[in-house]
């Protein structure tokens, strides 16, 4: 045996798929939503037979039905037949696993391993047994790929979704009040009278119900669009490190790679800070941001020096790139952090700097 560390495969197998399936089933309680099938054309993890078509999932379906009916093939152009494709094939890549985690039963895994693409390594250690390191590695790689895809696509805009939840509660309260006011459930009244009272109660909340339906539809459209973009980014964006997204040629909006590159820069800055014994929080970053890409020593300047074709943009455009990915601390004091970090992180990102971009004399760091 040449090495005590197993070589990580590019393709994972049924053993790893079963570990992921078991994890998802454990996290959904006693329902057992997933089952493994090996006697079908494409073996893998499927929704358990009792739940197939149990709830409507079409245009007039409900969210629970769509969660159970979905698999990644639904959102792929020129992909396999969603009717026969598993949610996770028996032979799968980290991309397949990352797609499984985007929507449906796979999302329950986020509650255990971490949300927003941030993997909880301590929780991951509790997945599987001693011999399931490849399954844990598959999940680790899937989280990394999902993070890159999320940086390209952007975070889910769930403002309408959250507003719909609040409005739904308001509608429930208003409906209860209207039923009580009209005494809809008063015992001893005739069927005609009960219907008339029910109609009056319904009319009283009609405007609120219409507003709720519209907001809910808007939220569902945003989630569906984000879900589709995430799955396609996972399978169609081959390399976001080179500054351009390599995609299958197809009409439509081109995905920006700026957020993905920005995520790579933030990861490098975190590593640099840890190595040099400094504190760095991407959501409470040190100053300065810089007034523009030419404002030497600022965060915008650092990004533009690393990837000028991407980040040498107006401040407002750069602000849009940063939205949801990072933010400066309140009232940050100017520091040498970005000036000193630049030559240290550039090689790790595969970027060659010229001497003009080397930091001027400042405080020494380890």
Per-residue pLDDT tens, the chain, 366 aa: give them. Answer: 444 444 444 689 999 999 999 999 999 887 889 999 999 989 999 999 888 777 766 666 677 778 888 999 999 877 889 889 999 999 999 999 999 999 999 999 998 998 767 889 999 999 999 999 999 999 999 999 888 888 888 888 788 888 888 998 999 999 999 999 999 999 999 999 999 999 999 999 999 999 998 988 888 888 889 899 999 888 865 443 333 343 444 444 444 577 778 888 998 999 999 999 999 998 889 999 999 999 999 999 999 999 888 888 888 888 878 877 888 888 888 999 999 999 999 988 888 875 444 444 443 333
Which secondary-structure segment (H or E) carries 88?
strand 88-89
Which secondary-structure segment (H or E) carries 200?
helix 191-204
Could you tell me if 296 and 360 are in contact, meaning their C-beta atoms sit under 8 angstroms apart? no
Farthest-apart Cα atoms in the chain, separation: 90
The helix/strand/coil state of 191 is helix
Walk across the sheet containing 44-47 and list its strands: 34-37, 44-47, 88-89
Q: Is the pTM of this model over 0.75?
A: no
* Exposure class string for 81-98: b at 16+ Cβ within 10 A, else e: eeeebbbbbbebbbbbbb
Which secondary-structure segment (H or E) carries 139?
helix 133-153
């Amino acid at each position: 045996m040449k090495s005590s560390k197993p070589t990580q495969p590019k393709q994972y197998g049924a053993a790893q798929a079963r570990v992921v399936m078991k994890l998802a089933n454990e996290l959904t309680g006693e329902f057992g939503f997933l089952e493994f099938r090996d006697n079908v054309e494409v073996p893998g993890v499927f929704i358990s037979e009792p739940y197939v078509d149990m709830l409507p999932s079409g245009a007039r379906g409900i969210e629970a039905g769509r969660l159970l009916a979905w698999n990644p093939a639904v959102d792929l152009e020129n992909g396999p037949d969603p009717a026969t494709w598993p949610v996770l094939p028996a032979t799968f890549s980290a991309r397949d696993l990352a797609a499984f985690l985007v929507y449906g039963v796979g999302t329950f895994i986020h509650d255990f391993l971490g949300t927003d693409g941030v993997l909880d390594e301590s929780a991951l250690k509790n997945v599987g047994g001693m011999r399931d390191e490849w399954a844990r590695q598959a999940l680790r790689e899937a989280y990394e790929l999902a993070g890159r895809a999320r940086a390209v696509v952007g975070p889910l805009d769930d403002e309408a979704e959250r507003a719909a939840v609040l409005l739904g509660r308001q509608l429930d309260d208003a409906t209860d009040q209207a039923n009580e006011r009209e005494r809809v459930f008063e015992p001893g009244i005739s069927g005609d009278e009960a219907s008339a009272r029910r109609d009056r109660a319904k009319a009283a909340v009609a405007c609120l119900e219409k507003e709720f339906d519209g907001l809910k539809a808007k939220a569902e459209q945003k989630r569906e669009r984000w879900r589709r973009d995430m799955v396609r980014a996972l399978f169609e964006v081959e390399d976001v490190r080179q500054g351009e997204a390599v995609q299958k040629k197809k009409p439509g909006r081109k995905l920006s790679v700026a957020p993905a590159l920005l995520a790579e820069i933030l990861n490098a800055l975190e590593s640099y800070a840890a190595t040099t014994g400094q504190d760095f929080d991407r959501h409470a970053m040190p100053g300065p941001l810089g007034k523009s890409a030419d404002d030497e020593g600022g965060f915008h300047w650092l990004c533009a020096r690393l990837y000028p074709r991407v980040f040498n943009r107006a401040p407002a455009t750069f602000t849009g790139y940063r939205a949801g990915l990072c933010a400066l601390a309140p009232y940050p004091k100017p520091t040498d952090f970005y000036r000193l970090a630049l030559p240290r992180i550039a090689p790790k990102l595969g970027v060659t700097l010229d001497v003009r971009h080397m930091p001027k004399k400042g405080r020494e760091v380890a």
